[in-house]
Amino acid sequence: MATRREVLKALGAAGASAALLPFNKAFGASGDSSGVASFTQPLNIPPVLTPSSSTSTADYYDMQVMQTTASIIPGKSTPIIGYNGMSPGPTIRARVGREAVVNFYNGLPATTLGGTTGKIVTHLHGGHLPSEDDGFPTDYINPGTNRTYTYPNNQLPSTLWYHDHTMDVTGPHVWYGLAGFYLLSDSIEDSLNLPSGNYEVPLVIQDRRFNSAGSLVYNKTMDGETGDVVLVNATVQPYLNVAKRKYRFRVLNGSNSRFYRLALSNGASFKVLGMEGGLLPAPVTVTSITLAPAERADVVIDFSGTAVGSNVTLRNTLVGSTSSIYNIMRFNVTTTATDTSAVPSSLRPFTKLNAANAVLTRNFTLSGGMMGGAWTINGAVFNENSPIATPKLGTTEIWRFTNQSMMDHPIHVHQTMFQILDINGNPPPATHAGWKDTVVVPRQMGTARIIAKFADYAGKYVMHCHNLEHEDMAMMARFDVVP
């Protein structure tokens, strides 16, 4: 049977007479299909994965992908697909200059949840990786087999994550559980004395929808799947008991398509240390930050001004206060604690890429979104056999995206971190002016220009929209870094 993408390819990308879809029409649902009362569940913190073995230069890990059940809604059991049977998967803590060699065994049946294939592909999102270790969407790990990826960790420390990247079914595979954190650090970052240990907490925000039995409901919505329940680390609208001091949160928008604007209920400001590609030169103080799917924010929230016995709620102010996805989680300040951590005013030297050094500018148009049609790049659906661009190894290029559709597209480029030159002609806000791997190209003829150097590794890679349903419905392109 032909996949949806093959059908779309056969039909041709276009039909481009533009029936206009309302932006994220699924937003603003009321009522929450989990039935769980807000802030009654303690935040799940995924365990750190222990290496199976280590040498002086590498750590070896084993991960099994399994279909199993999780306790997300009290009294019900939810079928999931999980790395080591959990969602989020275990956190990998890696060090710059030490290889992490991760062996993924695929323990899924031939057909898994949602009726999708049990074939998998794993991608380390934000990783600067050799092509064969990148998780190209058709480099399948078949059920009952395994594949070992070697992650060189030859890049700046940052908040990375690993997730499924199987062609046509990344959306459902991630929805049912296939995502986890990969936190890369080094001794320079250690020396900054940022909050660490129990005071450094990864938070992956994901919206989901459940049926009355407690199973996840996935509808493959063309505009992007959205849920009516907010989960953080797979806990429904959790609480976290905190001490009256600073915390570092590694926040990931791991949702299939939903954007969030994060703000605190007491209006307090917080500090952004960096986004996808590591630390900014200096922390940026904000009262809110918007995260598109796949974007990360490395933030410090200081609870020292909050009285013991009171609480602060993390909210999504992109929606109204009556929406079921308005409240994300709550911090209950339950105790005092000494705080010897710091947020230095200078974090890490940052080198701006110079547009004058770019060897060329490539133009990409983003379009589609008609009912039954496809999402496209330069008018074409994903073709795994043909590169759309062939940057030369070691050179710097400018990529310019123009969005001809009615929805924003968070575009993610593999192989390299990039810098944003401008969005709609304006330089990015300070929070977004560091190393990034995802850029939002605004709808209705919005533009974004990024600059990147394609260093170290030649071979085939992809770039795509990280609205996972747009990706599955073919807004993805292969590019080859050529020697």
Interface with Cu ion (CB under 5 A) = 409, 465, 467, 470
Residue 470 interacting with ligand C2O (CB under 6 A): no
- Binds 43, which of Cu ion, ligand C2O, none (CB < 5 to 8 A, cut-off by type)? none
- Binds 250, which of Cu ion, ligand C2O, none (CB < 5 to 8 A, cut-off by type)? none
d(C-alpha 178, C-alpha 127), whole Å: 17
The encoded tokens of residue 247 equal 């915390």
Span of 195-203, 214-222, 319-327, 458-466 interacting with ligand C2O by CB under 6 A: 458-466
d(C-alpha 243, C-alpha 70), whole Å: 29
Residue 409 interacting with ligand C2O (CB under 6 A): no
| Backbone dihedral region for residue 181 (phi beyond 0: left; psi -120 to 50: alpha; all else: beta) | beta
Q: Which helix (H) or strand (E) holds 175?
A: helix 170-175
E-strand stretches of 254-384: 260-264, 270-275, 278-286, 288-291, 296-302, 311-316, 327-336, 360-368, 375-377
Q: Which residues on neighbouring strands pair with residue 45, listed in sequence order? A: none
Q: Which helix (H) or strand (E) holds 171?
A: helix 170-175
Residue 76 interacting with ligand C2O (CB under 6 A): no
Burial 260-290 (b: 16+ CB within 10 A, else e): bebbbeeeeebbbbbbbbbbbbbbbebebbb
The residue nearest ligand C2O at its CB is: 125
Q: How far is residue 362 from each of residues 39, 400, 448, 456, 483, measured CA to CA in Å?
A: 47, 6, 12, 21, 18
Helix (H), strand (E) counts: the chain: 4, 30
Q: How far apart are CB 241 and Cu ion at their closest, in Å?
A: 38
Nearer to ligand C2O, 86 or 292 (CB): 292
- Binds 409, which of ligand C2O, Cu ion, none (CB < 5 to 8 A, cut-off by type)? Cu ion
- Binds 452, which of ligand C2O, Cu ion, none (CB < 5 to 8 A, cut-off by type)? none
Q: Which position among 246, 412, 436, 449 is part of the footprint of ligand C2O (CB under 6 A)?
A: 412
Span of 39-47, 93-101, 184-192, 460-468 interacting with ligand C2O by CB under 6 A: 460-468
Per-residue binding letters, 128-167, with ligand C2O (x by CB under 6 A): -----------------------------------x-x--
Nearer to Cu ion, 223 or 397 (CB): 223
Span of 64-72, 83-91, 209-217, 461-469 interacting with ligand C2O by CB under 6 A: 461-469
Residue 460 interacting with ligand C2O (CB under 6 A): no
The encoded tokens of residue 47 equal 């365990």
Span of 218-226, 323-331, 418-426, 462-470 interacting with ligand C2O by CB under 6 A: 462-470
Neighbours of 453 (CB within 10 A): 18
DSSP 396-419: EEEEEEEE-SSS-EEEEESSS-EE
The encoded tokens of residue 161 equal 């994550």
Q: Which helix (H) or strand (E) holds 170?
A: helix 170-175
Nearer to ligand C2O, 171 or 274 (CB): 171
Nearer to Cu ion, 167 or 273 (CB): 167
Q: How far apart are CB 29 and Cu ion at their closest, in Å?
A: 20
- Binds 412, which of Cu ion, ligand C2O, none (CB < 5 to 8 A, cut-off by type)? ligand C2O
Q: Give the number of residues in contact with ligand C2O, rule: CB under 6 A.
A: 10
Binding site for ligand C2O (CB under 6 A): 123, 125, 163, 165, 294, 412, 414, 462, 464, 466
